Structure 1
Amino acid sequence: MESMEPQKEEQEQILTTQPQKKNMIGLFFAGLLVVVLVAGAGVFMYTKTRVAALSDSSFVLASAQVFNIPIAKINGHRVSYHDFMTDFSSLKNFYSQQDQGATAVTDTDISQQVISRLLINALINEYAKKYNVTVDQSDVDVAKSELLSQFPDEETAAQEVQKTFGWSLQTFTERVINPIVVEQKVGEAFEQDTTVGDTYKATQVKARHILFTVDDEHPIDEVKAQAGKVLQRIKDGEDFASLAAEFGSDGTSETGGDLGWIDRGTTIPEFEDVIFAMSAGELYDGVVETQFGIHIVQVDDVKTINDFAAFFQDQLKAADVKIYSDIANPFAVADSATDNVTTNIDSTPEQTT
């Protein structure tokens, strides 16, 4: 019985020391977690400070990506610092290869261009969700083919993109072509929106012309006389497109003088004033003189559309924009007492979800 006492005491000691060890282990890991959280908070705050200073250090870029730190927000939608610096570096590479002439493009200029584009993309994505816009691979392929058509083959295009922007063709497609396609499709969806009010209605005119060039060999009086004779032939029933092919001096002569659909503000005033005062199917009674020469003009059709460009410009001006650096807000309205945009450096830690 006496030999049982030491064993009992040892068991009691073991039982009492086990909870103590568990408590010590728990305290150790709790302390370690506190250290990690404090260190993480320190890195987070340091990174935000360096983001405000537009640092391009690899550590800051990596930390900004991990913590999802924005350089800006528009209506609450984040523009990530990582995306900003990716585009900034690419655009800087582009300008370094251009002949800039007397006025060099500064880092400030590049920052403005990049933040403007990324804010636009973020707001476009907001309306893409509203209109349930989806982009299929076929949409991207069509836009990409337009780019590739400017080069002998895809390999040459890829080499030029790499040289000019420092990106692979795939990266260029993701960062440049895709957003353009989304914007186009949002614009198309807006044009079909029957709830759009008169504020954003606009007139489009489908017109064609025959351009007669004025130069030293073709003085204006002679050109006007020739244009007048051709105009009379049209009035007498001859085909406009055929005469455009015969007498037109610009590229539209190959398509019967077709200028396509024209928006206000996209052509020279003396030409625009004439065509937007005409009705569908009307041939202008005289000739139109512009800096390009003498025109015979016919309007094929007129229609009213939803003006997405005007609508979107207003949305940008009214948007709640926050920029966490000293980059100026590209959409701020000068001297506006009711402006709803802010530009600031916010040092308050944000939720990274």
Structure 2
Amino acid sequence: MSEVEQTNAEQAKKMPVNLLVLGVGVALLLGLLGLGVSTVYGVYQVSENPVVVSLARAFKIRVAEVNDTPILYSEYIRDTNSLRLFYAKKSTEVPYDKNQQSDQVLSRLIANILIQQTAQELNVTVTDADREMAKKDILARFENDETKLAADLNDNLGVTLPEFFDRILEPTILEKKVAEQFATSTDPQNSGFAEEQVRARHILFTVNAPADDAKAKADATRVLKELQKGADFAELAKKYGTDGTKDQGGDLGWFGRGDMVKEFEDAAYALNKGELVKAPVKTQFGYHLIKTEDKRSTKNFSAYMNEKLKTAKIKVFGKIHNPFANLQGGATVTAQ
């Protein structure tokens, strides 16, 4: 066999292999395109099939956009599963329907994006020192035992420790820092968000049934007389309080208009700094003794972010409810 014939023969032997490789490449490409179409259809139908979710993650398929920043479908399903697990563990909670679950998850994801975008505008970042301080605060609640914290997170949210720090703690730290930066901002454009805030303590005498009303009011009136004689408010709150603030001496921290029920809010705002109510205040929860500790002028961060939300370009894809449709005057829902 001549050298040319030998070369041609070798090429002939190689040719089917090259065609086979090409065929596999085409088949793989067509397969991926087919998977992509199936995945997009699954996402549009809000499928929670693990295969659909995994492929949606690989293809980076979006469930929503906030000012062109994507929220991935895989993130949405991941957080939905965490929320369901959390409420499943809280057997006393009223279960949410599907739209309420979706709204809670998607609104938080959208808010996180808006906070990130606002942080960039205000030049706010989360430092390693911020992260370490927050981690220490969390761990302190679990006797500084990471194993206990990890077990609790896995049991109640289905997340690992690194996932918790990245997905939940980091956005919380950033939101707090953005709110603090906004409160001290001297930008005249933010002057319209100024508000007066109150810091107050309270002692709640709970009324669970109409039959409890008279006793709760009598108990509140008796304790009020002790306070009027100079008793320490925080100590009596720890002794008589019936809500979660009792361990903090009834301290409610700072709050603005709209943060509390109207009867409570009106009473707290009507008091001067250091002043105590002259009679128990009745709300839907029972009778409150209120002491206004301090007042300040600040900026309403919630109102500021609500304005951001109203003007944001939000798109929700597929058959997923837009939690901010009414606020924005109509949902933008698109099939991918």
The aligned counterpart of 1:261 is: 254
Alpha-carbon distance in structure 2 between the residues aligned to 1:172 and 1:72: 22
Distance 1:100-1:223 versus aligned 2 partners, 3 A rule: closer
User: Secondary structure at 1:118's aligned position in 2?
Assistant: helix
The answer for the alignment partner of 2:222 in structure 1 is: 223
2:173 aligns with 181
Task: Decide which of 104, 113, 117 is 1:113's aligned counterpart.
Answer: 104
* Cα displacement (A) at 1:245: 5.8
Q: Distance in 1 between matches of 2:135 and 2:34?
A: 44
* 2:209 aligned partner: none
> Would you say 1:91 and 2:83 are equivalent positions?
yes
Change (3 A) 1:94 1:33: same
Percent identical among aligned pairs is 30
* 2:190 paired residue number: 197
> What TM-score, normalized to structure 2?
0.75
Tell me what 2:138 maps to.
Answer: 147
**Partner AA of 2:66 in structure 1:** I
Q: Deviations over 1:110-161 (max 9, x none)?
A: 3332222212112221112222222123322332333333334332222121
Rounded to whole Å, the distance in 2 between the matches of 1:282 and 1:167 is 44
Q: 1:182 to 1:36 in 2, by over 3 A?
A: same
Q: Give the 3-state SS of the residue equivalent to 2:233 in structure 1.
A: helix
Question: 1:70: how far off?
Answer: 0.8
What SS does the corresponding residue of 2:333 show, helix, strand or coil? coil
- What SS class does the counterpart of residue 320 from structure 2 fall into? coil
Q: Secondary structure at the match of 1:99?
A: coil
Q: Hey, what's the Cα distance between the residues in 2 that align with 1:168 and 1:221? A: 45
2:301 to 303, 308, 317: 308
- CA shift, 1:48, in A, is 0.9
How far did residue 108 of structure 1 move? 4.0
C-alpha contact 1:320 1:340 (8 A) present in aligned 2? no
Offset at 1:44? Answer: 1.8
Pick closer, same or farther for the CA change 1:25–1:328 going to 2, 3 Å: same
**Runs (5+) with no aligned partner, structure 1:** 1-6, 234-239, 347-353
Q: Secondary structure at the match of 2:255?
A: strand
The AA in structure 2 aligned to 1:244 is F
After superposition, the Cα gap between the structure-2 partners of 1:212 and 1:34, relative to the gap in structure 1 and judged at 3 Å, is closer
Question: Could you tell me which residue of structure 2 aligns to residue 342 of structure 1?
Answer: 332
C-alpha root-mean-square deviation of aligned residues, in Å?
A: 4.1
Alignment of 1:1-353 (within 5 A): 36-99=28-91, 103-152=94-143, 153-195=145-187, 196-207=189-200, 216=215, 219=218, 223=222, 226=225, 231=228, 243-244=232-233, 260-279=253-272, 281=273, 283=275, 287-291=278-282, 293=287, 295=289, 297-300=291-294, 302-333=295-326, 339=329, 341-346=331-336
Asked if the contact 2:63–2:317 (Cα under 8 Å) also holds between the matched residues in 1, the reply is: yes
- Secondary structure of the equivalent of 1:333? helix
Larger Rg computed on CA atoms: 1
8 Å Cα contact 1:128-1:182 kept in structure 2: yes
1:212·1:247 contact (CA, 8 Å) conserved in 2?
A: no
Q: Distance in 1 between matches of 2:203 and 2:96?
A: 40
Instruction: Encode CA deviations 1:27-60: one digit per residue, 9 max, x unaligned.
Output: 9887776555444333222211111122233432
The farther-off stretch of 44-53 and 258-267 is 258-267
Return the offset for 1:20: 11
Distance 1:258 1:104 in 2: 30
The range that moved more, 158-167 or 141-150, is 141-150
Q: Partner amino acid for 2:225?
A: Q
Tell me how far apart the structure 2 counterparts of residues 18 and 330 of structure 1 sit (CA, whole Å): 66
1:330 maps to a residue whose letter is P
Provide structure 2 residue ranges, at least 5 long, that are not aligned to the other structure.
Answer: 207-212
**Could you tell me how far 1:250 is from its partner in structure 2?**
5.1
Deviation at 1:309, TM superposition (A): 0.9
Count of matched residue positions in the alignment of Structure 1 and Structure 2: 321
Question: In 2, distance between residues paired with 1:155 and 1:116?
Answer: 31
* CA distance in structure 1 between the partners assigned to 2:317 and 2:66 by the alignment: 12
Aligned to 1:237: none
Write the distance in 1 (CA, Å) between the matches of 2:220 and 2:305.
Answer: 46
Matched to 2:269, the amino acid is F
* TM-score, structure 1 normalization: 0.72
2:236–2:249 Cα contact (<8 Å) kept: no
Q: Distance in 1 between matches of 2:97 and 2:247?
A: 43
